Amino acid sequence: MVVESTPGFETQDLLINVGPQHPSTHGVFRMVLEVDGEIVKDLVPHIGYLHRGAEKLCENNDFRQGVGYMDRTEYLASHNAELSYVMAVEALAELEVPERAQWIRMILCELNRLSSHFMFLGAFGVDVGVFGTPFIYAWREREAIIDLFEEISGDRMMYAYFRAGGLAWEVPGNFEERVREVLVSTRQGMKDFDNLLTRNEIFLARTKNVGIISAEDAVELGMSGPTLRASGVSLDIRKAEPYMYYDQIDFDVPVGTNGDVFDRYLVRLKEMEQSVHIIEQCLARLDDGPIMPERMPRMLRLPEDQEIYVRTEAPRGEYGIYLVSKGGNKPWRLKVRSACLSNLQALKKMSVGQYVADAIIILGSIDIVLSEVDR
Amino acid sequence: MSNGIYGIEIAWLDAVIRLHIIVGLMTVVVMGLIYVERKILARFQQRLGPTRTGPAGLLQSVADGLKLVGKEDLRPRNADPWTFELAPYMVFIPVFLGFVIVPFAFGMQVRILELGLIYFVATSSLGIIGWVMAGWGSDNRYAMIGGMRAAAQGISYELPLVLSLISVAMVSESYNLNDIVLSQSTYPNLLWQPLVLVIFIIAGLAELNRTPFDIPVGESEVVGGPFVEYSGIRWSFFFLAEYAALFIMGLIFAAVFMGGWAWPLGEELGRGWQILLVTIKTSLFIFLVFWIRASVPRLRIDQLMSFSWKILLPLAFLQVLINGAVLVYEAPLWILTITGMLGIVVLVRLIERAVRPQPVTNESTVSIGNESVS
Amino acid sequence: MRGIVKSLATTMSTFIRGPVTRGYPSKHRELPERDRAFPLLLWDKDIDEPFCTGCHACERACPVECMTVLMKDNPSHESQDGNSKRRKIVDEFWIDYGRCMRCNICVEVCNFEAIAMNNTWSGHETSVYDRSDLVMDLPQLMAQSKSDEIQEWVAD
């Protein structure tokens, strides 16, 4: 907008509203951009469009019912979300999870990390501007993984498969064989992405040195997951505070150096290779055995006046559950520490001074799930 | 000048008939192109594409057209009525004017103009006004950004396009498309002008607002740009113009670089064969455009501008100079082939140098391993 | 430029590999036996009555409270000269599919294996024009089991 006031011209910044209905806000995120020409001067994010009160709902539901709500806080990586919840309950109830259940949980969580990262690659590729192709590549591989989840748990997104103590039921007989099949197609999908994007000059031009955030800023903003590691901080909860059997597994943590959009893309792609590696090791260690503890009460009750914070490495970063129990079969207070919400704090810092088109891919590179941000 | 088709001698009547044929042809071709694009893109993306309307989805474009005609013609309350409503025609008419000179076969064009290429460039650049009008008149900020981007992009890429066509005209020693085609009956121009071919394709993609230059309409940023407030039949005019422009660009590509109907089978062919040849060559270009659309991301506006002004334009100028020198001193034409090839190498190097990131920290590659938490 | 050529080669390779999608409404994927759509009630074919005794276990366990169950005395119980061992039986049963979150808990808590998740496509294609049509009553919940349309899967 050009406004004539004095004998010359005076310019005024333009406000653009992006979202909640916009093709690349990954759900119902809204940001108001203040732009000077094509340069972003200021950015105001607005969240809360998807708030359902999942934490409060969990306070009114017992520990089996709560799992279903956890699925819905992180619908792209439901297994990982369930895991934090059941681990918190198990820790308070002092339940010993059988070995087989732990291995299966690890396999499913890593598979879910793969499917979630595929979703990121697809959506990110579309944000950068390839017409749909990455999305379909991603969907192709995600479909294979989700089909496997459906064969195991019966549902494609809201699995409700982990239970405090173990698993809801046994995996089907051909589980190992099917996982190996999925890994083959996953490798092909990763290769396709690598060929399609990683070395493409236009992709490099768009993503390199865009949306840089330094390691210090990233740590101060409480970022976690691949978004943090792209800035050069090698913090992976699977390594730093191993849970389940991650301490018995050999894997690397890919770390970026530049902290730009390209690093966030590449770290995720490398992380997927590591996930495949982890799943293979888990499959080798998988043994027969029970999937639930032998002495499992019909209705799980937690001891009085206990609290715990459990965190796991979900695909988007630290997914933490803070659980306060005052006895009974329901949590007295449940708080979800969402990685997406913390990562989103960095959006303004990354975007100001960049182009409008960059603000879009920076948002894409954070890989938010709005249901986790708003809960 | 020809004596007209079917023995009609009156020049204007002849022209009117030919124009009507073109309008019909164009509509059918655009509908076909939309279907083909959807099918080809789907195939690139391992999808099925349209399947539900008619056998193999053949009637998809008809269904789309009916839907668009049936839709309400909305105009935002704050939109500038005249600008808003005239913009689709301002985009469409220049594209349509371009059809006057394109040759489908020997003698099969509306008019043979001596300055055909100049005419084509002049008309096609008029369309930018329509884009700006649509962007400004919609009273929508996405549309305005899109319209401004379209103007910047259209003007910048006009120049490499014009220079590339001038280079070819120099080699063919004519601006007349008919003569250009005839001059290529033994060797097509792309043999002498490989660099110009690359520049033409890049600038052509930018003129057509196609990926990787679909910045004005960038679906993921400005949500369709200037089109964002249009619906129904007005929106379909934009679409019609877009695909008609693609078709013309393909025809120009076939005529200017691939020898149109004259190469490789000589100019004595039957008319059916000539049309077939032109169709194949045009389809080649169009397929390439679709292929690129399925494969590459979108550039950013500043990168787009600097690419045009800093890389494409100097190279195109250089080619014009070399062409001039070779033609004035009557040097053998294969020198042009070699310089053209060298030019392509330079272009590739320049692109790769341009995307190499200026290091911000010490190194910009991802290292795998465990570093301590800082 | 070489990277762009590589991208073009990648898309060409998928062009040759062929489609991976299905023409969904006309072609259905085979569902795994564990597939969970919405809960259904099962029919005891030996005695010609529902397995469900209307014990409210599922109603109490449902996290979203989408079920309503009413119980009655079984008219065909042995004491009434019938051939059934069920003293009580379900009188009315409503499930609001619009609320159901398909968590499978009702199936797990059922002591009579009287409820199961629909694992056929009919359970997924339940679009209606009115939300109230999603509230299923007893005959609707029974229909598929009566006509042998589902092969239920119940976790052991």
Q: How many CB pairs under 8 A join A and C?
A: 83
Residues C7/A197, Cβ–Cβ less than 8 Å: yes
Domain holding A159, by residue range, is 2-374
Quote the minimal CA–CA distance from A255 to chain B in Å.
6
C-alpha to C-alpha distance for A266 and A259, rounded to whole angstroms = 11
**DSSP symbol at C50:** E
Interface ipTM above 0.90: no
C-alpha to C-alpha distance for A149 and A75, rounded to whole angstroms = 13
Q: Which of B37, B38, B43, B45 has the highest number of chain A CBs within 10 A, making it the mutation to test binding with A? A: B45
Q: What is the pLDDT of residue B1?
A: 43
Measured from the Cβ of residue C33, the count of other Cβ atoms closer than 10 Å reads: 12
Which phi and psi angles does C91 have, rounded to 5°?
-95, -55
Residues B127/B245, Cβ–Cβ less than 8 Å: yes
Q: Which of C5, C10, C13, C15 has the highest number of chain B CBs within 10 A, making it the mutation to test binding with B? A: C15
Angle between helices B271-295 and C2-17 (to 10 degrees): 110
The sheet carrying A14-18 orders its strands as A14-18, A30-36, A39-46
The answer on pLDDT for B7 being more than 70 is no
C-alpha to C-alpha distance for B341 and A48, rounded to whole angstroms = 57
A360–chain B Cβ distance below 8 A for any pair: yes
Q: Which residues in chain C are contacts of A206 at CB distance < 8 A?
A: none
Quote the minimal CA–CA distance from B94 to chain C in Å.
32
B47–chain C Cβ distance below 8 A for any pair: yes
Q: Which residues in chain A are contacts of C155 at CB distance < 8 A?
A: 168-170
Residues A222/A317, Cβ–Cβ less than 8 Å: no
B46–chain A Cβ distance below 8 A for any pair: yes
C-alpha to C-alpha distance for B135 and B143, rounded to whole angstroms = 4
Quote the minimal CA–CA distance from A11 to chain C in Å.
39
The band of B372, judged by pLDDT with boundaries at 50, 70 and 90, is very low
Which among A160, A195, A201 has CB closest to C104? A160
Residue C140 burial class via C-beta count within 10 angstroms: exposed 0-12, middle 13-18, buried 19 and up: middle
At the topology level of CATH, where does C36-146 sit? Alpha-Beta Plaits (3.30.70)
| Average pLDDT, integer, range C114-126 | 86
Q: Which of A73, A199, A334 has the highest number of chain C CBs within 10 A, making it the mutation to test binding with C? A: A199
| Average pLDDT, integer, range C63-87 | 83
Note which residues in 166-225 of chain A have CB less than 8 A from chain B: 196-197, 200-206, 208-209, 212, 215-216, 219
Say how many domains are in chain A: 1
Q: Which residues in chain B are contacts of A132 at CB distance < 8 A?
A: 41, 45, 294
C-alpha to C-alpha distance for A167 and A171, rounded to whole angstroms = 9
Instruction: Give all strands (DSSP E) within chain A, no chain letters.
Output: 2-3, 10-11, 14-18, 30-36, 39-46, 162-163, 166-167, 254-255, 306-314, 317-325, 333-337
**C92-104 pLDDT tens trace:** 889 998 889 888 8
Contacts of A185 (CB under 8 A, 6+ apart): A140, A141, A144
Contacts of A37 (CB under 8 A, 6+ apart): none
Give the residue numbers in C contacting A (CB under 8 Å), as ranges: 1-4, 6-7, 9-11, 13-14, 20, 31-32, 34-36, 61, 63, 101-105, 108, 117, 119, 153, 155-156
C-alpha to C-alpha distance for C83 and C71, rounded to whole angstroms = 19
Domain residue spans in chain C? 36-146
Quote the minimal CA–CA distance from B164 to chain C in Å.
20
The band of B301, judged by pLDDT with boundaries at 50, 70 and 90, is confident
Q: Which residues in chain C are contacts of A155 at CB distance < 8 A?
A: 35-36, 102
Q: Which residues in chain B are contacts of C22 at CB distance < 8 A?
A: 48
Tokens of residue B179, six digits: 């003569």
Residue C47 burial class via C-beta count within 10 angstroms: exposed 0-12, middle 13-18, buried 19 and up: middle
Closest-CA residue of chain B to A355: B300
Percent of chain C's residues with pLDDT above 90: 1
The answer on pLDDT for B374 being more than 80 is no
Q: Between chains, do C15 and B43 touch, taking CB under 8 Å as contact?
A: yes
The answer on pLDDT for B208 being more than 60 is yes
C-alpha to C-alpha distance for C46 and B281, rounded to whole angstroms = 73
Percent of chain B's residues with pLDDT above 70: 93
Closest-CA residue of chain C to B43: C15
Q: Between chains, do C4 and B348 touch, taking CB under 8 Å as contact?
A: no
Q: What is the pLDDT of residue A279?
A: 92
Instruction: Give all strands (DSSP E) within chain B, no chain letters.
Output: 367-368
Residues A101/A86, Cβ–Cβ less than 8 Å: no
**B221-266 pLDDT tens trace:** 778 788 888 888 888 888 888 898 899 899 889 888 888 787 777 7
Residue position matching structure tokens 């259940």: A101
Beta-strand pair A166-167/A162-163? antiparallel
Q: Between chains, do B212 and A129 touch, taking CB under 8 Å as contact?
A: yes
Distance between alpha carbon A202 and the CA centroid of its chain, in Å?
27
Name the neighbours of A, counting chains with at least 3 Cβ pairs within 8 A: B, C
The answer on pLDDT for B311 being more than 80 is yes
Q: What is the pLDDT of residue B365?
A: 41
Q: Which residues in chain A are contacts of B212 at CB distance < 8 A?
A: 129, 202
Q: What is the pLDDT of residue A109?
A: 92
Domain residue spans in chain B? 5-354
Distance between alpha carbon A82 and the CA centroid of its chain, in Å?
12
Q: What is the pLDDT of residue B360?
A: 43
Q: What is the dihedral of CA A365, A370, A374, A375, to 10 degrees?
A: -120
C-alpha to C-alpha distance for B144 and B105, rounded to whole angstroms = 41
SS3 B219: coil
Quote the minimal CA–CA distance from B217 to chain C in Å.
22
Q: How many residues are listed for chain C in this entry?
A: 156
Q: Between chains, do B44 and C14 touch, taking CB under 8 Å as contact?
A: yes
C-alpha to C-alpha distance for B104 and B102, rounded to whole angstroms = 7
Domain holding A31: CATH number?
Answer: 1.10.645.10
B212–chain A Cβ distance below 8 A for any pair: yes
Which among C4, C11, C21 has CB closest to B47? C21
User: HSE (CB half, 13 Å, CA atoms) of C98?
Assistant: 10
| Average pLDDT, integer, range B68-72 | 87
Residue A352 burial class via C-beta count within 10 angstroms: exposed 0-12, middle 13-18, buried 19 and up: middle
Percent of chain B's residues with pLDDT above 90: 2
Q: What separation in angstroms does the CA of B161 have from each of A312, B118, B167, B315?
A: 56, 11, 10, 12
Q: Which regions in chain A score pLDDT beneath 70? A: 1-8
Tokens of residue A236, six digits: 């992976």
How many degrees, rounded to 5, is the angle at CA B256 between CA B18 and CA B248?
Answer: 45
Residues B302/B153, Cβ–Cβ less than 8 Å: no
Query: What's chain B's average pLDDT?
Result: 83
Question: Shortest CA distance to B357 belongs to which of C52, A209, A33?
Answer: A209
Quote the minimal CA–CA distance from C124 to chain B in Å.
21
B46–chain C Cβ distance below 8 A for any pair: yes
